[in-house]
Amino acid sequence: MAKSSLHIGKHIALLIILFSGLIIPCRGEAQTRELLLKAGYIEKFTHFVDWSKNPFSKDSLFKVAVIGDKKFSLALEQIFSNIKVNEKSVKVTYITSVDQIKDNMILVISKSIGSDKLDEILDYTTGKTILTISEKDGYGVRGSIINLVVVDEFIRYEINRVTLGKSGLKMNSLLIKSGTLVGTK
């Protein structure tokens, strides 16, 4: 019991540190730094989501796909290189089409994805146990479960409770309360 409390305490401390406001510089290296910071957020999100209803949760690898910006997949590979999720090694894959989403637990939708493509992606993922994470203003309201946004040079995140509810994923209340709820109508 004490070990469990310590484990939860570590996660809460990590959340506080992570979400206390990571400043993004406004220079040439900002894009790479921003992607690494967002990748760090995504890694932390994995500690607060339950994928047990995902038919691929029994696979030997925890699969993350990135559609849009290949640089985002490289940032995620760097973050997840020595990290396990649910005691599984993480495989990050860059994909270019919706039919490649298949057996992934997380789908990262980069800001280079346009509105029409987003609709196609969300048509495929909504109602499935795939955590969709986008990074473009308005994409949380449109149906991405988590949307990473930059507000006053800080990374923040939105959570679409409606899409989350349809997904069958369970999200820890600490993560929900730390984000901004969108698409609740």
Contact 55, 63 (CB under 8 A): no
Distance (Å) of CA 24 to CA 3, 120, 150: 35, 31, 9
Q: How far apart are CA 94 and CA 33, in angstroms?
A: 19
Burial 96-115 (b: 16+ CB within 10 A, else e): eebeebeebbbbbbbeebee
Q: Note the pLDDT of residue 153.
A: 85
Q: Note the pLDDT of residue 60.
A: 85
Q: How many of the other CB atoms lie within 10 Å of CB of 65?
A: 22
Q: Map out the domains of the chain as residue ranges.
A: 30-182
Q: How far apart are CA 145 and CA 124, in angstroms?
A: 13
Q: How far apart are CA 29 and CA 16, in angstroms?
A: 25
Q: Note the pLDDT of residue 56.
A: 75
Q: Note the pLDDT of residue 3.
A: 53
Q: What tokens were used for 181? A: 């709820």
Q: Note the pLDDT of residue 29.
A: 54
Q: Note the pLDDT of residue 122.
A: 97
Burial 119-144 (b: 16+ CB within 10 A, else e): eebbebbbebbbbbbbbbeebbbbbb
The CATH number of 30-182 is 3.40.50
Contact 47, 11 (CB under 8 A): yes
Q: What tokens were used for 177? A: 């309360």
What is this structure's pTM? 0.83
Burial (0-12, 13-18, 19+ Cβ within 10 Å), 3: exposed
Q: How far apart are CA 88 and CA 85, in angstroms?
A: 5
CA nearest neighbour of 64 among 37, 33, 86, 31: 86
Q: What tokens were used for 148? A: 């990473």
Q: What is the pLDDT along the chain (185 residues), one digit of tens a residue?
A: 455 555 566 556 555 555 554 444 444 455 678 899 999 999 999 999 998 887 777 778 999 999 998 999 999 999 999 999 988 999 999 999 999 998 899 999 999 999 999 999 999 999 999 999 999 999 999 999 999 999 988 999 999 999 999 999 999 999 999 999 998 65
